[in-house]
């Protein structure tokens, strides 16, 4: 992880740019949990990751689809598990794609599912800072 990445973003554009710069650390096979409250900027951060992967499509939250797939320098599978309960069966969602060496999987709300915690992953925690627009963003590599 590059140490020059900021820990505080002051607007959505900075959050997206941080996601773009973070994407330089990613390669096919990586899993990324995006963790934060509603409205914290999770999807904005994913937009930055997508831009860094060369994806030009409009990135939207897959809350109702649960997963959207985009093509860039590698495939990006963007999951959003907000509408799921921790006891729900994930087998219909092709979660085995998390082990796929050909794609990067980004999961919003993935921390709610213990079965996913065995997967080596990045964790991006986005928290409200002292104001409604500033965000504290922590990025960590987890062995799984």
**pLDDT tens digits, one per residue of 84-116:** 877 777 766 666 656 667 889 999 988 888 777
Which structural domain, as residue segments, surrounds residue 88? 8-142
Q: What's the pLDDT score for residue 83? A: 84
Contact call for residues 110 and 119 (beta carbons, < 8 A): no
CB 11 within 8 Å of CB 20 = no
Q: Of the ranges 26-40, 74-88, 127-141, which is most confident?
A: 26-40
3 domain-assigned: no
Residues 6 or more apart in contact with residue 33 via CB below 8 angstroms: 107, 110, 111, 116, 121, 122, 123, 124
Flag whether pLDDT at 53 surpasses 60: yes
| Total domains, the chain | 1
The answer on pLDDT for 54 being more than 90 is: yes
Ranges of beta strands (E only) in 16-118 are: 31-36, 67-71, 75-80, 103-108
pTM of the model: 0.88
Q: Are 134 and 9 in contact (CB under 8 A)?
A: yes
Average pLDDT over residues 78-87: 84
Q: What is the pLDDT of residue 15?
A: 94
Is residue 1 in a domain?
no
Evaluate whether residue 136 is within a structural domain. Answer: yes
Among residues 140, 133, 107, which one has the least CA distance to residue 5? 140
User: CATH no. for residue 31?
Assistant: 3.40.50.300
Residue 6, pLDDT above cutoff 90: no
Query: In this structure, is residue 2 part of a structural domain?
Result: no
More confident residue, 28 or 91: 28
Element (H, E) at 38: none
């Amino acid at each position: 992880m590059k140490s020059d990445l900021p820990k505080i973003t002051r607007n959505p554009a900075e959050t997206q740019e941080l996601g773009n710069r973070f994407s330089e650390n990613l390669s096919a096979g990586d899993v990324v949990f995006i963790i934060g409250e509603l409205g914290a900027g999770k999807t904005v951060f994913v937009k930055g990751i997508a831009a860094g992967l060369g994806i030009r499509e409009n990135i939207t939250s897959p809350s109702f689809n649960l997963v959207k797939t985009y093509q860039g320098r590698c495939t990006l599978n963007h999951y959003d598990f907000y509408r799921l309960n921790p006891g729900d069966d994930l087998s219909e969602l092709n979660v085995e794609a998390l082990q796929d060496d050909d794609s990067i999987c980004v999961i919003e709300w993935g921390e709610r599912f213990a079965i996913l915690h065995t997967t080596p992953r990045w964790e991006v925690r986005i928290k409200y800072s002292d104001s409604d627009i500033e965000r504290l963003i922590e990025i960590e590599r987890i062995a799984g």
